[in-house]
Structure 1
Amino acid sequence: MNNIIYSVIFYVLAAMVIGSAGYVAISKNIVRCAFALVYTFLGVAGLFVLLSADFIAATQVLIYVGGTLVLILFAVMLSSRISEIRISNQSVGRVPGFFITICFGAILIYVAVSGQWPVTEKVDFSPTTASIGNALLGKWLLPFEVVSILILSGLMGAVVIARRKRMPKGDEK
């Protein structure tokens, strides 16, 4: 694709990420926050695709959108009286928070504009999925399997703890 199309796609995705993340931060309805978080994660995955990081983009969608966020939505939807809950973030106040945000934003813009960023030559990106798969199932096979067994044992422990809390006191064996 040509550079203009990349730039347009980048700015659309960046606006989507910033807008939906801002909505997550200021909204008081937790269900709407969760759905805005979906758009934030999908926008970040789109930015990873623009960077030719296909594995990280797929991981972003599978883990965050497909796993974590669906879990949050199920917890929110299955909770009783969730529509009555309003999130209040008035602990410090809007004016100091707005002022601090503007100051940090100005500092970031100053650093981005005035910095001497090195220009590199065009790099040929190759797909990362095959090289990561070869590394995980080759050189790093043993640590990969150890971590998977550790995660599985943690999940089994969580199930045991959750079942123990639900059982009546006389039924424990």
Structure 2
Amino acid sequence: MSNVTYSIIFYLFAAITVFSAAFVVFSRNVIYSAFSLLFTFFGVAALYVYLSADFIAVTQIIVYVGGILVLLLFGVMFTNKIMMTKLRTDVINMVPGLAILAAVVGGLLTIFYTRADWVTSATQLQGSVVERIGIETMSRYVLPFEMASILLLLALIGAAFLARFDKAHNKER
């Protein structure tokens, strides 16, 4: 495939990602926002595939689409049925949000256009990087990996304690 075809594919997935993310932010219906988030996650995964980061793309789909988004959708739909209310959000704080957006876009454009020595490589990565990630995770980066797992375990224990403490506190009343 030619460079023009690759550019068209990249801009197509970038547009899908950006427009669906904008719909997530500006939609007043929570369910529409959640389904737009699905397209955002898939667009990001497609961009990872485009960048030859297959492992990160599959992880993106499994973790975010398969886990977090499904959990979010079930939570929203069950809450909607139980409470029988229309879930709507108010889009507030537009001015600070637009100011932060302008600052981030301005910073990115400044970095992109003032730095002329972007390093590109003509060689493509061959094979899968999963084996290399596994070796590095279990050898050189085993301490940060284990520290992150302990931190997540402590967060889980803390959340369970807070949820249990709240129930016990409400029973005393």
TM-score (norm 1): 0.75
* Aligned-residue offset at 1:112: 4.7
Report percent identity of matched pairs. 39
Q: Deviations over 1:58-96 (max 9, x none)?
A: 221122222222222222112144751321124446xx9
Q: Which amino acid aligns with 1:128?
A: V
Task: Show the counterpart of 2:146.
Answer: 145
TM-superposed deviation, 1:45: 0.6
SS of alignment partner, residue 72 of structure 1: helix
Mapping 1:81-160, distance limit 5 Å = 81=83, 84-92=86-94, 112=112, 116-118=116-118, 120-126=120-126, 127-160=128-161
Structure-2 residue corresponding to 1:62: 62
The alpha-carbon deviation at position 99 of structure 1 amounts to 9.2
C-alpha distance after superposition, 1:116-139 (max 9, x if no partner): 353534132243221111111223
Q: Which amino acid letter does the alignment assign opposite residue 8 of structure 2?
A: V
Residues in 1 aligned to 2:150 and 2:100: alpha-carbon distance in whole angstroms: 45
1:45-60 equivalence runs, <5 A: 45-60=45-60
Q: Distance in 2 between matches of 1:88 and 1:14?
A: 27
**5+ long unaligned stretches in structure 2:** none
Any gaps of 5 or more consecutive residues in structure 1?
A: none
Moved more, 16-25 or 100-109: 100-109
Matched letter for residue 142 of structure 2: L
Could you say if the C-alpha distance between residues 100 and 147 of structure 1 is closer, same or farther in structure 2, counting changes exceeding 3 Å?
A: closer
Q: 1:76, 1:82 within 8 Å by CA — same for their partners in 2?
A: no
Equivalenced residue count is 169
Match of 2:137, as an amino acid?
L
Residue correspondence of structure 1 range 2-41 to structure 2 within 5 A: 2-41=2-41
* Over 3 Å off, 4+ runs: 80-83, 90-93, 96-115, 167-171
Shift of 1:140: 2.7
More deviation in 73-82 or 10-19? 73-82
Provide the secondary structure at the position in 2 that maps to 1:66.
Answer: helix
Q: CA RMSD in A?
A: 3.4
Change (3 A) 1:27 1:129: same
- TM-score norm. by structure 2 comes to 0.75
**Per-residue CA distance 1:33-54 (angstroms, 9 max, x = gap):** 0110110011001000110111
Structure 1: how far apart are the matches of 2:129 and 2:103? 38
